[in-house]
Amino acid sequence: MNKMTIRVPFVDLKLQHEPIQMQLQDAIQSVLERGDFILGQALSDFEAAFAAVSGAEYGVGVASGTDAIALGLQACNIGAGDEVILPANTFIATLIGVLRAGAKPILVDCDHQTALIDLREAAKAITPYTKAIIPVHLYGQMVSPSELFNFADTYKLLIFEDAAQAHLAQRDGYHAGSVGIAAAFSFYPSKNLGAFGDGGMVLTRDSDVALKMRRLRNYGASQKYFHTEAGTNSRLDTLQAAILHQKLPYLPQWNRDRLTIAQQYDAQLAPLATAGIIPMENQSGTGHVYHLYVIKVDDSCPIKRQQLEEKLTAVGIQTGIHYPIPCHLQPAFTNLGYQPGDFPQAEKLSKQILSLPMYPGLSSSQIKEVVAAIAHAVSTSYKADNLSPADLSTVVA
């Protein structure tokens, strides 16, 4: 394929940083001046601020979202001998976090409409060893807190949220990060709140969990050179915290922008539903923070997901797939003993989903362009269907 100008990128972080560049530079400068690069003032300030806006009590910044899951589970005393339920269709870091905590991951299927964990399937996976469930607030939509509370009550489980895609998301009156005993966030640059590098945080309302987290991220030290557990070195840089704290006040507006963009996509894509282009269902209304805007290319659609992806790329529209291979089918984890067919919804979705461009600053005309390109690709496929395979190339070209 020849080199193509990108008309609609998948994400554009420059758009978000340019207007506040001076502020960001000042924040960086003040860390340089103080020189407290590790566990500095800007870190504790940001931890408190992010916990407060998320309805949690304590925040503990770590080096990544993956570490937030692994260390967060450990801080909740979830580990060897415990089973932890999580969805099969999540980013691999959820699974890796459980394994690093020493617990046994139990994967379950998802709901085909929302791609969120299916709690009826989770109920079937309960054993005497089940200690916790990790609801992944996938794509920016929270797993229903009221349903989670019922579930956790019934089976006497801990809830540990993977909120890496759900900064400030809301549902049933709860913020992501305030539902479980603890929650993991990621500040990977393209997340709804992103650093200038890697970063993560655990939020909790439990002071014991917070204290243990502070030890675990700092070599397991309860005070300097006195180690009560085998911790690690995983601290959110003071510099990253200062940057994130500057960006935090803009997050609600950025999330509203994402919602508005999603509403435009929803409205404009609606006529394509009969052709089999189906957006993921929003069941949480304005609390959805749309880290990603994901459509399904249904099996009834005249075009296959891969063809649609290629046709969009060919006209300069970038897309993504989150995620193309469910966790249980990843080569690294065959030892978990799962088989193709174990999680039919997750497997089906992995072949149907396509993430469209989504970022604050994406313009209405770009949205129209994306939808028009999808509509065009679908309609030309209808026509192509009536042609012999030999003629097809001329139509697609």
Ligand X SMILES: *Cc1c(COP(=O)(O)O)cnc(C)c1O
Could you list the residues that contact ligand X (CB under 6 A)?
A: 64-66, 90-91, 93-94, 136, 162, 164-165, 186, 188, 198, 200
- Given the complex with ligand X, which of 177 and 374 has the nearer CB atom? 177
Nearer Cβ to ligand X (139/151): 139
Residue 76's alpha-carbon distances to 81, 143, 175, 230, 246, in angstroms, are: 14, 20, 20, 15, 30
Closer CB to ligand X, residue 16 or residue 90? 90
Report the residue closest to ligand X, judged by CB.
65
Instruction: Tell me if 135 sits within 8 A of 171, measured CB to CB.
Output: no
- Angle between helix axes 305-314 and 364-385 (nearest 10 degrees) is 130
In terms of CB distance, is 56 or 115 closer to ligand X? 115
Nearer to ligand X, 64 or 130 (CB): 64
Helix (H) or strand (E) holding 295: strand 293-297
In angstroms, give the least distance from the CB of 165 to ligand X.
5
Q: Tell the smallest beta-carbon distance from residue 186 to ligand X (Å).
A: 3
Nearer CB in complex with ligand X: 25/190: 190
The region that residue 369 occupies, defined by phi over 0 for left and psi between -120 and 50 for alpha, beta otherwise, is: alpha
> Which ranges in 315-362 belong to alpha helices (H)?
344-352
256 within 8 A of 282, measured Cβ to Cβ: no
Q: How far is the CB of 38 from ligand X (least distance, A)?
A: 19
Q: How far is the CB of 65 from ligand X (least distance, A)?
A: 2
27/35 Cα distance (integer angstroms): 12
Closest of 122, 126, 84, 88 to residue 101, by C-alpha: 84
Closest CB 311 distance from ligand X, rounded Å: 27
The pairing of strands 83-87 and 130-133 is parallel
Q: What is the nearest approach in angstroms of ligand X to the Cβ of residue 98?
A: 11
Q: How far apart (Å, rounded) are the C-alpha atoms in residues 122 and 47?
A: 32
CB of 322 to ligand X, least distance (A): 8
With a CB cutoff of 8 Å and minimum separation 6, the contacts of 194 are: 13, 187, 188, 247
What is the nearest approach in angstroms of ligand X to the Cβ of residue 164? 3
Minimal distance, residue 393 CB to ligand X, in Å: 38
Beta strands 170-171 and 174-175: pairing type? antiparallel
Instruction: Between 130 and 186, name the residue whose CB sits nearer to ligand X.
Output: 186
Residues 123/96, Cβ–Cβ less than 8 Å: no
Residue found under tokens 């984890």: 333
Nearer to ligand X, 111 or 162 (CB): 162
Query: How many Å from the N-terminal Cα to the C-terminal Cα in the chain?
Result: 12
Q: How far apart are CA 77 and CA 83, in angstroms?
A: 12
Closer residue to ligand X in complex, CB, 121/198:
198
Q: Do residues 218 and 43 touch, judged by C-beta distance below 8 A?
A: no
